[in-house]
Amino acid sequence: MKYILVTGGVISGIGKGIIASSVGLILKSCGLHVTAIKIDPYINIDAGTFSPYEHGEVFVLDDGGEVDLDLGNYERFLDIRLTRDNNLTTGKIYQSVINKERRGDYLGKTVQVVPHITDAIQEWVVKQAKISVDDDGVEPQVCVIELGGTVGDIESMPFIEAFRQFQFKVKRDNFCNIHVSLVPQPSATGEQKTKPTQNSVRELRGLGLSPDLIMCRCATPLENAVKEKISMFCHVEPTQVICVADVSSIYRVPLLLEDQGVVGYICQRLDLPIEMRARKMLTKWKEMSDRSDRLLEHVSVALVGKYTKFSDSYASVIKALEHSALAINHKLEIKFIDSADLEPNTLQEEPVKYHEAWQKLCSADGVLVPGGFGVRGTEGKIQAISWARKKKKPFLGVCLGMQLAVCEFARNVLGWQDANSTEFHPESKHPVVIDMPEHNPGQMGGTMRLGKRRTIFKSNTSILSEGFHFVGQDVEGERMEVIELDDHAYFVGVQYHPEFTSRPIKPSPPYFGLLLAAAGKLQSYLQKGCRLSPRDTYSDRSDSSSPDSEIAELKF
């Protein structure tokens, strides 16, 4: 097993996740089996109880694991299936060690950070790296490990120490370190500054890790003099200083690394058995990136939610929209609308904000209401759904969005004025959405129905069908999973979260349908005999469709 540790310096949120994903992608394009682990130094057991404003969205895996959004990047870039144990937190490690201590596994010894915590980290990484993440079941050959946060943070010290020891246990030929740093360019002088990177690398070396590659995040390409200066003061060759400048699309990052010889260096450094030849997977990525830069036609989607001030709150939703827009050769414009701004109260208190929100909604080609929690903004979402239904605008409701579409139809078509979800109005006479029997309202973490499940389509004529029909149910026939409305271009609600399975060259069907309808292409697409199914990303049969027409594998 070869291990590649990705650390970060100067600031958090520097792009380690995209760089780790890109490194994994270019190695996978060489025919290697690659897995990925994300380490988050916070004490939470998992990301399930975070506000989206803390770390962005909570990504959900096939096994129901609620994890950091970077694992979503790994799955999208590498087209792999990870598990909850691919996300390691301080909370998980300490819980594991304390449970062992309570069982008496340490035979009365004093349990300490070194060696017990550091040993537990290393054992976790070695064990998880061996678990297959590809459909072929083959054990991975390379494990990319991203250490969250910034070098020097007190929270990450046990992990840094664990990897300092780990590099000697697995030997030099099996371990390398990529350090991602920032090269700022103050507008006052326009000069690229190397001091933050020098200090960051010095601190990392002081903790016992020496970077093999220094990846410099910068606004503009690194000047040669700057690269040589970093090389001299950070004890690496100039070829080991990699420029990761801002690019038009994150899908260009793997190509940027490839052009600077990263694959060649890593293969030589880790003695990886690969042939340097033309790689079909990377060619597809280049075609996709080039195409995204040349798009001329535009399509706009109004995203009506409650966490719209921070786009990472809807990271997978945005990516799924981008994948679908690219598949139909349109440049995507997302209009973020805070659902509370659509409510009558806002008209009284902040009329300008109210009218701006409605102007955005009315000018959009399609409407998306994503998942969420809590009563705030729900009436605004219902207003948006009602408008989309009456105006025949393409609409997709996900999770809460689907539930509120049911409430809106019950209120405005069936005349049940107090129709609501028991989550928001437990005393409603028309509770059209109810709590699941297994839901535990007294505990916040790990109480939802999560993971990859099977949904059975009950209609042969479904576009995903034609009717306000519950066209998809779970295998027991108890939970309604998919709704569609008669006499409408595209009015669909899904209880699950299809965005988690969307891939850059394999868009999610519900989102793909929304974008086709928003661009006015859905009917012609269907008339040509095509189903709303993703294309097979990496196979030789690139035009083949994958899911069975009656039963689709879906994920909540």
- Is there a catalytic annotation at residue 497? yes
CA 234 from centre of chain: 33
Question: Angle of helix 118-129 relative to helix 157-169, nearest 10 degrees?
Answer: 60
CA 471 from centre of chain: 28
Contact 538, 79 (CB under 8 A): yes
SS3 state at 354: helix
Contact 24, 36 (CB under 8 A): yes
Q: What letter represents residue 452's amino acid?
A: K
CA 500 from centre of chain: 7
The angle at the Cα of 64, spanning 63 to 65, to the nearest 5 degrees, equals 95
Nearest to 294 by CA among 328, 321, 329, 324: 329
Q: What letter represents residue 79's amino acid?
A: D
Which CA distances in Å does 126 have to 3, 13, 131? 9, 26, 10
- Is there a catalytic annotation at residue 399? yes
Q: Dig out the tokens for 511 from the structure.
A: 């989102």
Look up residue 114 and give its DSSP letter: I
* Buried b or exposed e, range 247-259, using 16+ CB within 10 angstroms: eeebbbbbbbbbe
SS3 state at 553: strand
SS3 state at 431: strand
The number of beta carbons lying within 10 Å of the beta carbon of residue 148 is 26
- Is there a catalytic annotation at residue 499? yes
DSSP string of 363-408, one letter each residue: H-SEEEE----SSTTHHHHHHHHHHHHHTT--EEEETHHHHHHHHH
CA distance 329 to 17: 27
Which residue in 55, 323, 330, 497 is the catalytic one? 497
Which residue in 143, 243, 399, 407 is the catalytic one? 399
Reduced 3-state DSSP string for 295-347: CCCEEEEEEEECCCCCHHHHHHHHHHHHHHHHHCCCEEEEEEEEHHHHCHHHH
Beta-carbon contacts of residue 52 (< 8 Å; ≥ 6 apart): 58, 307, 310, 312, 313, 314
Residue numbers annotated as active site: 399, 497, 499
